[in-house]
Amino acid sequence: MNVYEKIGLKRVVNASGRVTILGVSTLSDEVAQAAIEGGQSYVVIDDLINRAGEIISGYTGGEDSCVTSSASAAICLTVAGLISKGKKSIVDRLPDSTGLPNEIVIQKGHSIDYGAPMPTMIRLGGGVPVEAGTANEVVPEDIEEAITENTVALFYVKSHHCVQKGMVDIETMRDIAHRHNLPLMVDAAAEEDFRKYIALGADLVIYSGAKALEATTSGFVTGKKEYISYVKKQYHGIGRPMKIGKEGIMGLLKALERYENKDREKEVAENIAKVQYLCEEISKIPGLKAEQIQDEAGRAIYRARVTLDTAETAQGTKSAAQINQELRGGDPQIYARTEFLNLGKIDFDPRPLVDGDKELIVKRLREIMEG
């Protein structure tokens, strides 16, 4: 029995991915140990935040970095930082930014809900989101014309949740921002390359700690030293309810160290092998077909996509929504990805599966289909 079962909750087979609703990722012994040790001593927190920033920057190429409790907190604190520009009187009054430049320009197809709405995170930091263009088409002119004397930053979101076509690319966003003497913020929360966007010339880049890094619940923003200093000041203002504890910071630093030394190609190969097993075995179940697909945002993430074999489903078998409901209803509860459920597709992410999970998924699907 795991600790959650001991308090009366069902075990979860996570075939969904690094998602908040299931607890994102699990900790390695090394990361858990770093968090334990971090929690067992005192330290001057401002010094820890500064030192953690230096260490994180060694992994990102940023001039400095600021550790946060999540990527969402990093978005809020970055917006707040750019509005206050380090001025104490503004730090003290945020999130009230009345009368101050406070607009954040974001492409409409990037104004997503990743589990919570992006505009909420901007507003929480005192910002006003200004959506440029339309949901499926944004051109450079839309961005240019959205910029006013109240603009404090341009915001680019790199995510599979975003509209992938018809958006202005990151290089163009960077050039427009810099031509207007504005910083470009990038949300790369779930990305796996911690250097790429700094190298591309982004001024502030945001990551989540528990996603690719499999760290303790955390996040960080990395980039230009001056802007990062504005972000850090928020811990004496609106950042207080978003504080990250010393144990969380030490877990993050250990996870960064581990990630740097990890054999990622081997991990991808192992995940592909799991996907292939799922595709072969699920396709043997009458009424189901499965194929390997790649992540929509182009990351090296492969998943098994299950579709209903329409020739068979025409004879009154279950819908994808029903199958998904039955997967979740059992014990353990099996959580697949449901972004394309309305199109009759159920996706299985191999990354969070533990030993025995993939066999269990096949067994349960067979039971569900055979009724």
Ligand X SMILES: *Cc1c(COP(=O)(O)O)cnc(C)c1O
Q: Does 214 sit near ligand X (CB under 6 A)?
A: no
Amino acid at 19: V
Q: Which of 126, 112, 115 is nearest to 78 (CA)?
A: 126
Instruction: Catalogue the E-assigned strands of the chain.
Output: 12-15, 64-68, 103-107, 128-132, 151-157, 184-187, 204-208, 219-223, 288-294, 302-308, 333-336, 345-348
- Provide the minimum distance between the beta carbon of 249 and ligand X in the complex, in angstroms, as a whole number: 14
- Provide the minimum distance between the beta carbon of 67 and ligand X in the complex, in angstroms, as a whole number: 12
Q: Which one among 157, 238, 256, 327 touches ligand X, defined by CB under 6 A?
A: 157
Taking residues 288 to 327 in sequence order and writing x for each that binds ligand X by CB under 6 A, - otherwise, the string is: ----------------------------------------
- Provide the minimum distance between the beta carbon of 169 and ligand X in the complex, in angstroms, as a whole number: 17
Q: Does 194 sit near ligand X (CB under 6 A)?
A: no
Q: Which of 136, 126, 121, 48 is nearest to 87 (CA)?
A: 126
Closer residue to ligand X in complex, CB, 208/317: 208
Query: Which of the ranges 76-84, 165-173, 187-195, 290-298 carries the binding residues for ligand X, by CB under 6 A?
Result: 187-195
Q: What are 14's strand-pairing partners? A: 335
Q: Which of 229, 178, 230, 225 is nearest to 200 (CA)?
A: 178
Q: Does 189 sit near ligand X (CB under 6 A)?
A: yes
Query: Which of the ranges 83-91, 136-144, 184-192, 263-271 carries the binding residues for ligand X, by CB under 6 A?
Result: 184-192
Binders of ligand X among 243-262, rule CB under 6 A?
none
Q: Which one among 64, 103, 131, 187 touches ligand X, defined by CB under 6 A?
A: 187
Residue 262 token pair: 């990890």
DSSP-derived secondary structure for 302-365: EEEEEEE-HHHHTTT---HHHHHHHHHHSSSEEEEB-TTGGGTEEEE-STT--TTHHHHHHHHH
Measured on CA atoms in the order 112, 117, 123, 128, is the torsion positive or negative?
A: positive
Whole-angstrom Cα distance, residue 326 to residue 365? 9
- Provide the minimum distance between the beta carbon of 293 and ligand X in the complex, in angstroms, as a whole number: 18
Residue 299 burial (CB < 10 Å; 0-12/13-18/19+)? middle
Query: Which of the ranges 51-59, 173-181, 182-190, 361-369 carries the binding residues for ligand X, by CB under 6 A?
Result: 182-190
Whole-angstrom Cα distance, residue 366 to residue 371? 8
Residues touching ligand X, count (CB under 6 A): 13
- Provide the minimum distance between the beta carbon of 299 and ligand X in the complex, in angstroms, as a whole number: 11
- Provide the minimum distance between the beta carbon of 200 and ligand X in the complex, in angstroms, as a whole number: 17
Whole-angstrom Cα distance, residue 60 to residue 327? 40
Q: Does 20 sit near ligand X (CB under 6 A)?
A: yes
Q: Which one among 38, 119, 125, 219 touches ligand X, defined by CB under 6 A?
A: 219
Q: Which one among 31, 66, 71, 138 touches ligand X, defined by CB under 6 A?
A: 71
- Provide the minimum distance between the beta carbon of 253 and ligand X in the complex, in angstroms, as a whole number: 16
Taking residues 110 to 129 in sequence order and writing x for each that binds ligand X by CB under 6 A, - otherwise, the string is: ----x---------------
Chain Cα centroid distance, residue 116: 11
Residue ranges in contact with ligand X by CB under 6 A: 20, 70-72, 114, 157, 159, 161, 187, 189-190, 208, 219
